[in-house]
Structure 1
Amino acid sequence: MSKPRVILWLAVAALAGGAFYIVKERMAPAGAPAHGGAPAQTVAAQTAGMQTWQPTMELVGELRASEGADLSLQVSGIVESLSFESGQTVQAGTPLLQLVAEDQVAKLASLKATAELNAIILKRDIEQLKIKAVSQATVDTDEANLKNSQALVKQQEALVSYYTLKAPFTGRLGIRNVDLGQYLSAGTAIVTLQALDPLFADFFVPQKFFGKLKVGEPVKVTVDGYPGQSFAGAVSAINSKVESGSRNVKVRATLANPDGKLVPGMFAKVALDVGAAERFVTLPQTAIVANPYGSTVFVLEKTPDGKGLVARETFVKLGQARGDFIAVTSGLSEGETVVVAGQIKLRNGTPAVVDNSHIPKVELDPSVSD
């Protein structure tokens, strides 16, 4: 073996031996001679309790309007009148803009006059047919002429309506993009209209949770614009396919937005309940001691004479964190007394005294106070 490899293997062995010694030293049995005469350390401690938690996934998504469109006209023309203001809330059918359409209105009047004349001719020829003054072919031609003229009237009425922009649904208008007297080409975006109540929150869920998704499951939505505030909603639709690229399924939640705080396009964080509720041993997160070789906590136990307490460091496996608490999946039992502050002063076997006079408040759903 080459000399550099020998040096490398010696270094690895030294590091492994050092790590083993550290773990062995820290996890030595309580009451070891090394700490037999150590003074008692003052710590804060709490009893490990059980809590029922609903498993929740934190996902990212985007807010979408239940109905939304960039409004435009399918004909060109000059803006004759504007009947709205930017940011205004309008009802479905409200006129918003009118293009100059005198020539189209005049043509409509001409076609209506022709249709009325054809109706008169048909009525007269029907009376004439009764006395054999005209033939049946003449009446048939009159009927065809009347139907054709009436169809032309409907066609022109539709064309005239194209020169008027109306709100297709109730919602809030955005910023106006046109001005009075401006020439508009067909398809020019005039203003955006968004229905804000309710709103949709679209997000993606990994396919392994597809079987647990159900319409009606509650969700909580948070956005950066309102820190510390959540908006309640429920799953309203689950896509019928999984995206082939990401292997995620698209899910849509519906949430009420009566005050219009939320708007489409916002980046959202979605908390989705998945599966049945579970019970966990929970601790304040301050109780956890993070080490390179794993997470530990200090448990306080009575001394053999029953007159004092001694710290015992034990490995724990952690689960989901929620607020100021964290779930412990193994390594700790309900009812054990765990140090939540002052662990830096402890080693395995250190005598301890509990003083909870300055223990911080812990909450499942903490909020930032001003």
Structure 2
Amino acid sequence: MADVNTDSPLPPQPTAPKRRLWRPMLLMMVVVLVIVAIIVGVKFTQISALIAQAKVPLPAAVVTAMPAQFSDWQPSVSAVGSMKAVRGVDVTTEVGGIVRTLGFKPGQQVPAQALLVQLNADSDIAQLHSLEATADLAVIVLKRDKAQLAVNAVSQAQVDTDSADLKAKLAAAEQQRALVEKKAIRAPFAGRIGITSVNPGQYLNPGDKIATLQTFDPIYIDFTVPQAQLESISIGQAVSVTADGLSNQTFAGKITTVDTQFDSTTRNVTVEATVENPKQSLVPGMFARAVVQSGATQRYLTVPQTSVTYNPYGTTVFIAATTKNDKGEDVLTAAQTFIKTGPTRGDQVAILSGVKEGDQVITSGQMKLKNGSPVKIDNHAAPLNDAAPTPQEH
């Protein structure tokens, strides 16, 4: 019987744990590949949708528009100002005293030299009578000494002394008479007297205000104009004045004065015009508007001010122009163009260059536009284009 060699090596056999590890790893790789495929598919779908959406034309923006047309313009200079009395003063007292009587009612028209306030002057009048009596005595003394001088009874020096004494006493009486007259406070000129807080029996100190006295017809309006418009202003030009609270009333006047100095801060100059005010409707201190007509009538291409966009790089408008799309169809698109503007009036602005007569200028809705944007015109709510607008209430 042959011996069996038990020392010969045997081939290694795979173990069961190693075989079991391959299955989960393979399953995990399959799951990862499926997830990646799903993500790639979702992203591909989204990108395809975006590309398809980009090819869809933008909807037309709804705007308002109107053709640019020529209009006749009367050159004018408009400004705001304040009404000022031709004559106006705060009536005060030069001397102190107790009020005895008031000679006016607030708001009353008073003539020149009308008695407004009478202060108590009893003691001053008595003093005046005493000084007048002293002056009368000095007259008698001078007359007697002159008679005695004729017969050499007195010297010439005595007569000279008497003459100087008379003049001094007359001056003292005249000074007292002036003091008495100051106790009667009178209107320095004709006008309307304002509200007063003075009552009989009240003591007034020198300089205390009694009331305001002003002349209303005619009346001044002071307004300022910039340096660039000074050449349009000259003495004698007609001025139309309107004021808030006086609707449908226009007052005519003429420029009477142009100030000799500009304001160094604003570079404006003050202009004063005299305005007829027969009904005294205009009152000093009122806010008013002045329009000065200057030069011959001009013709300007006119559009509403709402159509103009002011930018740091220039002034522009959008014009609705007809173009062809990819299908050869006529469509309206917005075209932005630079312009140069002129004067303004009411809702309108004059266009000096950049727009031709008949161009459809977009008047509202341009904030959402850019060059080439499709537009649709709907003028149901178009902005106003009035040369002389009035407040609108709805």
Structure-2 change in CA distance of 1:369 and 1:84 (3 Å)? farther
Contact 2:83 2:286 in 1 (8 A): yes
- The offset of 1:83, in angstroms, is 0.8
Are 1:327 and 2:347 counterparts? no
- Candidates 208, 211, 214, aligned match of 2:234: 214
Counterparts of 2:392 and 2:303, CA distance in 1: 23
Q: Residue in 2 aligned with 1:129?
A: 149
CA contact (8 A) 1:202 1:252 kept: yes
Per-residue CA deviations over 1:88-114 (Å, capped at 9, x if unaligned) read 111110001111110101111111122
User: Can you list the C-alpha shifts for 1:302-336, whole angstroms capped at 9, x where unaligned?
Assistant: xxxxxxxx9996845443332354322123445x4
Q: Is the 8 A contact 1:204 1:249 kept in 2?
A: yes
Give the direction of change, closer, same or farther, for the CA distance of 1:165–1:213 in structure 2 (3 Å limit): same
| 1:242 alignment partner in structure 2 | 262
Compare 147-156 and 88-97 and name the one that shifted more: 147-156
Alignment pair present for 1:139 and 2:159: yes
Q: What is the letter of the counterpart of residue 349 of structure 2?
A: I
Q: Are residues 1:295 and 2:321 paired?
A: no
1:363/1:289 CA distance change after superposition, 3 Å: closer
Q: Residues 263-282 of structure 1: matches in 2 within 5 Å?
A: 263-273=283-293, 278-282=298-302
**Which 10-residue stretch deviates more, 265-274 or 129-138?**
265-274
**AA partner of residue 346 (structure 2):** G
Matched residue of 1:296: which SS?
A: strand
- Alignment-derived partner of residue 161 in structure 1: 181
Higher mean alpha-carbon deviation, 88-97 vs 246-255, is at 246-255
For 1:20, the equivalent position in structure 2 comes to none
**Is 1:98 aligned with 2:118?**
yes
Question: Which residue identity does 2:236 align to in structure 1?
Answer: G
Structure 1 residue 179 corresponds to structure 2 residue 199: yes
Give the 3-state SS of the residue equivalent to 2:209 in structure 1: coil
Of the structure 1 ranges 256-265 and 172-181, higher mean CA displacement relative to structure 2 is found in: 256-265
Q: CA deviation at 1:275?
A: 6.2
Structure 2 stretches lacking a partner, 5+ long = 1-56, 58-63, 323-331
Cα distance in 1 for residues equivalent to 2:300 and 2:336: 18
> Match for 1:49: what amino acid?
F
Distance 2:244 2:72 in 1: 29
Note closer, same or farther for the CA distance 1:49–1:114 as it changes in structure 2 (3 Å cut): same
Structure 2 letter corresponding to 1:319: G
Q: Percent identity between the aligned chains?
A: 40
Query: CA 1:69/1:342 → structure 2, altered by over 3 Å: closer, same or farther?
Result: closer
Residues 339-350 of structure 1 aligned to structure 2 (within 5 Å): none
Equivalent residue number for residue 280 of structure 2: 260
Instruction: Give the aligned residue type for 1:320.
Output: P
CA contact (8 A) 1:299 1:314 kept: no
Answer 1 or 2: higher relative contact order, Cα 8 Å, separation at least 6: 1
Root-mean-square deviation (CA, aligned residues, Å) is: 4.2
Q: What CA distance in whole angstroms lies between the structure 1 residues aligned with 2:94 and 2:185? A: 10
Q: Offset of 1:142 from its aligned partner? A: 1.9
Equivalent residues of 1:55, 1:276 under 8 A apart: no
2:364, 2:232 → 1: CA distance?
42
- Which amino acid is 2:188 matched to? P
Alpha carbons 1:298, 1:314 under 8 Å: kept? no
Provide the rounded CA distance (Å) in 2 between the counterparts of 1:337 and 1:295: 11
The CA distance in 2 between the partners of 1:228 and 1:311, in whole Å, is 44
Aligned pairs (5 A) from 1:189-228: 189-227=209-247
Larger deviation, residues 68-77 vs 277-286: 277-286
C-alpha separation between the residues in 2 aligned to 1:362 and 1:61? Answer: 26
- The number of equivalent residue pairs is 323
Query: What's 1:48 paired with?
Result: 69
Residue of structure 2 aligned with 1:107, choices 112, 127, 131: 127
Q: Secondary structure at the match of 1:205?
A: strand
User: 1:88 and 2:108 equivalent?
Assistant: yes
Paired with 1:289 and 1:127, the residues of 2 have a C-alpha distance of: 100
Do 2:96 and 2:205's aligned partners in 1 also have CA atoms closer than 8 Å? yes
Match of 2:168 in 1: 148
Give the alignment's TM-score, normalised by structure 1.
Answer: 0.71
Residues 257 and 272 of structure 2 are in contact (CA less than 8 Å); yes or no, is this contact kept in structure 1? yes
- Cα deviations across residues 103-131 of structure 1 (Å, max 9, x unaligned)? 10111111112222222222232233222
The separation in 2 between residues aligned to 1:241 and 1:342, in whole angstroms, is 43
Between structure 1 and structure 2, the one with the greater Rg is 2
Asked whether the equivalents of residues 318 and 362 of structure 2 are also in contact (C-alpha less than 8 Å), the reply is no
